[in-house]
Amino acid sequence: MAASASASLTSSATEEEITLTVKWSGKEYTVRVCGNDSVAELKRSICELTNVLPKRQKLLYPKIGNKLADESVLLSQLPIKSSLKMTMIGTVEDDIIVDQVDSPEIVDDFELGQDEAVDIKDKEVNKQKLRKRIDQFKIELKNPCRPGKKLLVLDIDYTLFDHRSTAENPLELMRPYLHEFLTAVYAEYDIMIWSATSMKWVELKMGQLGVLNNPNYKITALLDHLAMITVQSDSRGIFDCKPLGLIWAKFPEFYSSKNTIMFDDLRRNFVMNPRNGLVIKPFKKAHANRDNDQELVKLTQYLLAIAELDDLSVLDHKNWEFFAEGNAKNHRRT
Ligand SMILES: [Mg+2]
């Protein structure tokens, strides 16, 4: 009894909503956060209102010193009160291409233990963050969902595009066979693109590569970093991930854990839905590798081979190369 009483006390303290006033560029914005949100999530909320990317924000708040510089700190650990005003210093990016090249290398991926991965997706605090994101985030459809189709969700950086190399024409950095891949899988899958960058960059990059308004396939929706959530793990602290549950909650009549697969070069992005992620080999050093990168050709075969299954989540996508091979052999035999 005592244990459960104290647990519920703790959770009500951290779930408490805090309404902050953030001053930026001569205007005041109202931001609503929870005690169990991290500074990273606060910055994401501010970004939604101001378009200043989280990494460009510096937050100033009386008597907190530089604690707000640590993005993993939870707001419940700071003496933040609803009545006080916070100041944000930061600039909206104009030249986002330059920014991409200058940005620091993303954090290395890491493998979470099987038990811990399960733990993260089942933790009440993480489920709650997902529910909050479902309430707040609106997915704008570029094209209607198609009944009977499965769903393919694609990352951009290092999955479809080498964003770290430079070239006069972005097409030089596009993963080989991208359009052939999207054209072929569109027969069986609706396609969404989800990048951990800003929507401005997603639209710009996909437009440059000819993915939007392509005559051979249609993109159902684009998602950006604002659709992500920050989760807590015991061994890795906090990190951002792409919860497919957001899409499933928005379009339950079309998509579920049974018919969705997501490609990303970072395994941690799947942590809320580990059964639905396939870790793609990163496409880096485009100039050296673009003549022999065959990943999208092989993955086309895999996606088309599994498209007839009723439940994709029973597959272990780690073995995808083996599956495609076995399937090809079976076809040859018959
Ligand atoms: Mg990536």
Q: Give the DSSP letter string of 158-188.
A: TTTB-TTS--SSGGGGBPTTHHHHHHHHTTT
Give me the number of domains the chain comprises.
Answer: 2
Q: Which of 69, 92, 115 is the last residue of a domain?
A: 92
78 lies in some domain: yes
Res 206 pLDDT > 90: yes
78: domain CATH number is: 3.10.20.90
- Report pLDDT for 1: 37
In this predicted structure, the answer to whether residue 264 has a pLDDT above a threshold of 90 is yes
* Same-domain status, 126 and 266: yes
Q: Are strands 221-223 and 260-264 parallel, antiparallel or unpaired?
A: unpaired
What pLDDT, on a 0 to 100 scale, did the predictor assign at position 96? Answer: 46
State in Å: Cα 52 to ligand 1 middle: 21
Q: Record the tokens describing residue 168, joined without a space.
A: 């006069």
In terms of domains, do 50 and 155 share one?
A: no
Task: Report yes or no: 163 and 206 within 8 Å, Cβ to Cβ.
Answer: no
Say which DSSP state 267 is in: G
- pLDDT exceeds cutoff 50 at 25: yes
Cβ proximity of 43 and 22 under 8 Å:
no
126 and 186 together in one domain? yes
CATH number at residue 229: 3.40.50.1000
Q: Which two tokens stand for residue 11?
A: 């959770």
The reply to whether 54 and 129 lie within a common domain is no
Ligand 1 centroid to 173 CA: how many Å? 14
Distance 263 CA to ligand 1 centre (A): 9
Are 149 and 190 contacting, i.e. CB atoms less than 8 angstroms apart? yes
Residues 180 and 105 in one domain: yes
What is the Å distance from ligand 1's center to 267 Cα? 10
Ligand 1 geometric centre to CA of 33 (Å)? 28
Residue 220 CA to ligand 1 center (angstroms) comes to: 20
Centre of ligand 1 from the C-alpha of residue 23, in Å: 33
- Please tell me the predicted confidence (pLDDT) of residue 319: 92
Count H helices, E strands: the chain?
11, 11
Q: Choose the final residue of a domain: 73, 92, 111.
A: 92
Residue 2 within a domain: no
Ligand 1 center–CA 6 separation, angstroms = 41
DSSP state, 141? B
Q: How far is the CA of 156 from the centre of ligand 1 (A)?
A: 6
Are residue 56 and residue 83 in the same domain, yes or no? yes
The verdict on 135 and 213 lying in the same domain is yes
User: Does residue 260 sit in helix, strand or coil?
Assistant: strand
With a pLDDT cut of 70, the percent of the chain lying above it is 84
**Residue 112 confidence class, pLDDT cut points 50, 70, 90:** low
**Least confident piece of the model among 61-70, 166-175, 291-300:** 61-70
Distance 75 CA to ligand 1 centre (A): 28
Give the residue numbers spanning the domain of 171.
101-333
CA distance 309 to 320: 14
- How much is the pLDDT for 208? 95
Chosen domain end from 60, 92, 124: 92
Both 226 and 278 in one domain: the answer is yes
Bridge partners, 161 (sequence order):
157, 174
Q: What is the mean pLDDT of residues 201-209?
A: 94
